[in-house]
Structure formats: C-alpha cells, structure tokens
Amino acid sequence: MGKLWSGRFQEKTAKIVESFTESISFDKRLWRYDIAGSIAHAQMLGRQGIISREDSEKIVHALEKIACEIEAGKLRFREDLEDIHTNIETALVKKIGAVGKKLHTARSRNDQVALDLRLYLRAEIGQIESLIKHFQQKLLDSAEKHIDAIMPGYTHMQRAQPLLLSHHLLAYVEMFQRDRERLTDTLKRVDVLPLGAGALAGTSLPIDREYVAKLLGFNSVAENSVDAVSDRDFAIEFLADASILIMHLSRMAEELVLWSTEEFSFIELPDAFTTGSSIMPQKKNPDVAELIRGKAGRVYGSLISLLTTMKGLPLSYNRDMQEDKVPVFDAVDTVKASLSVFGEMVPRIRFNKERMSDTASAAYATATDVAEYLVRKGLPFREAHEITGRIVLHCIESRKNLNDLTIRELKRFSPLIEGDVHKCLLAEDSAKAKNSRGGTSPSQVKKQLKRLRGLLNS
C-alpha cells in the first residue's frame, strides 16, 4: 500500500522528509489503543450498514491477529509508513486485501490520533493513581510506626517548633491525596470520544458515535468536530497535574537529601537505594532522591513544550500537534518511575529518632509555647511575644536552653510565670499541647491517620 494521499501527488516523498516527519519511532506505543479504536469503529460500520457485517467481522478478526503479532514482536514497524495508524492499516490490507481498505471509512487520522492519545492517557492515569495510592500507604505505615517520634519543624530552614515525625510525613500524604484528586478530575476531560469528527467537519455517512463510545467505555462524546480534532487541553491538563505531582516528590526528595547529611543525621538511607563515590571510599550518596529532584525539571519541560506547541495554532488540526506525544509519554514514564522507586525506598529509611528529638529540644523551639503560656495567664499575645523574646535573648547571652532556666530567672521577665511553665519547655510536651484540629498532638495525628486510611480504602 502506498502513501494514503498518493493519488494527488506526482513525486515520491523525499527520504529526508520521511525521516523528518515520521512518528512511528515514538507513537508505536499507541498500537493497542489504535487497534482497540479500529475494532470499535469497524463494528460500528458493520452495525450501521456502511460496510457489510461480513467485512466488519473480517476486519475485526484480522486486527485481533495483528495485535497478537505485535505483542509477540513479529510485526516490524516501517518508518516509510510514517505512523502507527498507517502501519496497522497496511498490515490489515496485507492480511485481508481490499476489505482492509474499508476500515478508514468515515474517519481521519486526525480524530484517530486524538482517540488513541485519550485512550492511552485514560489507562496511564489509572496506573499513576494506583502508584500514588501505594506510596501514600507506605507513608501511612511509616507514620504509624514512628507515631511518637519528635522532630524539629522548620520555617525558612530555621528550627521553628517541635513536631511529631508522623505529622510531618502525613503532610506529604495530604499532598499526594490532592494529586490523586486532580488526576481523577482531569479524567473527566480525557474521557471524551473524538472519533467521528473526521478530519474536522464530521461525515455525511450515518455513523453512530454513541455506540462507539459505549464500546470503548467513554462517558461522553465530543460535541464539536473542529474542537474534537484540535483539542489537546486534556493532555496539557495531565502534564500540569504531573508537574505538581513531581514537584511534591521533589520537595520530599530534597528533605531526604538534607536529612541524610552528617549535619542533620536525621535518617540513614538504605544501601540499596544509594551509590558510592569513584574516588572517595567513605561516601554514601542519595542519588535516587537527587535524581527525582532533578526529574522535576524534565516534567516541567514537557508541560511547557506542549503549551508552546499549542499556543499559536489556528483551528483545527495542524502537523505541529504531532509533537504532543513525546512530552506526554516522557512525563508518564518519569512520574511512574519516580513513584515506583520512592515507594520502595521510603519504607526502608532508618530514622535517627534520638538525634531528631535532641535537635527538636534545642534552639529555643518551645519559645512559642512560653508565649502562649503567658496568654493563658491573661497577657495580650504581643506583650507575651515580647517578653518571650527577651527570655530567648537572655538564654543566648547566658548560653542556656529554655528548660535550663530556673523559675527565679524566668520571674525576672514576668511575675506571671510559675512552676507550671516547665510543662511548656520540653519538646514532647510542646507537641502534645498542639491539639487544635490538624495539629501535631498525638491525638490529632491519630485522627488524621484514621481519616487518611479511610480515604485510601474508599
């Protein structure tokens, strides 16, 4: 079979043009979706009497055989056939002759490729959601395992207030929950059937788009044929979701890199997920976390790439849109690989709970608790804040921690301070006291754990 458009042309396509314009090198991964769409289309053509039922059945049977051949690696894709659609159609015609040429009735590669990409993304979004959920479960397990461990919380990368390690881990579970919800919502825009739009104007043949949608499991049908072939919003939206997701992974990776340093010494990463140095024998490098941090830029690049491709395109289909698939494919692969490796690594991290607790108790991390103690004694918060600031300054000058101060020393700053202030000075007591909804107290963290388990099990 020659070029699909050869009837109008007198010259053969130049070899350099074939190499430049081919997409089979990357869109071959759409083969199973292309065949699924073609089978549904053939069944609809037969049902509507546009082609005979006998021809429809021949086409479907041949496509199923082609699928088996591709799965087994027996079908060689050809660059001169340009894309996955033409490669499969050529294989079909080779199998069943002229009957195979009837498959493309009432469709164009424009609506065909839009269908393939939607089917692909629909499947991949489901897999990514499962990987996120698996990772969330691992984080919840780790939080439950270390339910009472104390660590310093940070703002501006300065020690701020004591936290439960479990509370800190649950912050990431919340982030990834939003990622899952975003992907689920995006799925509504992905799950729209474009097939039947033809090149851009629809068809004069009596097709049944609702039937095709039913066969392929789509919830809705694109209502405007021009929009159906020119829309890539769904792919851009997916890439935006993927960018936010990889950003969350990158933030966590950054913390793991920091926490594994000698300066922090909060964690030890498993040997199996680190590497050494070619020259320094003592090194244990957090390469997995660093690579995930680096791959964030790669996913961002995919989003910017497709946004830039689409920003100046007039309606409807333009060949520029062939550039949609590589960024989508790469983002899917990158996100799935990052989630998979993190999901395996995080449960094996060893937390240095003693070091974390000691650090949480230093640097006047309970100063806010002293200020709130004075508020409970009747002082306005601004006055309590100022008094506590002077107490901290005194500690710095005398090289003492807050819990080293005697009541006599503390009373110099406010006569309201009594012996019960010592309940505010320990990191453990500070964390326990944060019992507001969503706070870091053990009782609140247990409520969060229960709620998040429920979300994952629903």
Where are the alpha helices (H) located in 191-311, listed in sequence order?
Answer: 209-216, 225-230, 233-259, 287-310
Residue 156 annotated in active site: yes
Catalytic, out of 6, 25, 220, 277 = 277
Checking phi first, is residue 432 left (phi over 0); if not, alpha (psi -120 to 50) or beta?
alpha
Closest CA to 66 of 45, 44, 43, 95: 95
Per the structure block, which two tokens stand in for 112? Answer: 């065909």
Q: How far is CA 70 from the centre of its chain?
A: 29
Q: Rounded to 5 degrees, what are φ and ψ at 181?
A: -65, -40
Q: Is 193 helix (H, G, I), strand (E, B) or coil?
A: strand
How many Å apart are CA 29 and CA 117, to the nearest integer?
10
Strand (E) or helix (H) holding 220: strand 220-221
| Catalytic option among 156, 278, 436, 458 | 156
Q: Is 104 a catalytic residue?
A: no
Q: From 440, 421, 422, select the one nearest 431 (Cα to Cα).
A: 440
Whether 289 and 255 have beta carbons less than 8 Å apart is answered as no
Strands (E) in 275-361, as ranges, are 350-351
Helices and strands (DSSP H and E) totals, the chain: 18, 6
CB-CB contact of 173 with 16 (8 Å): no
Cite the active site residues. Answer: 156, 277
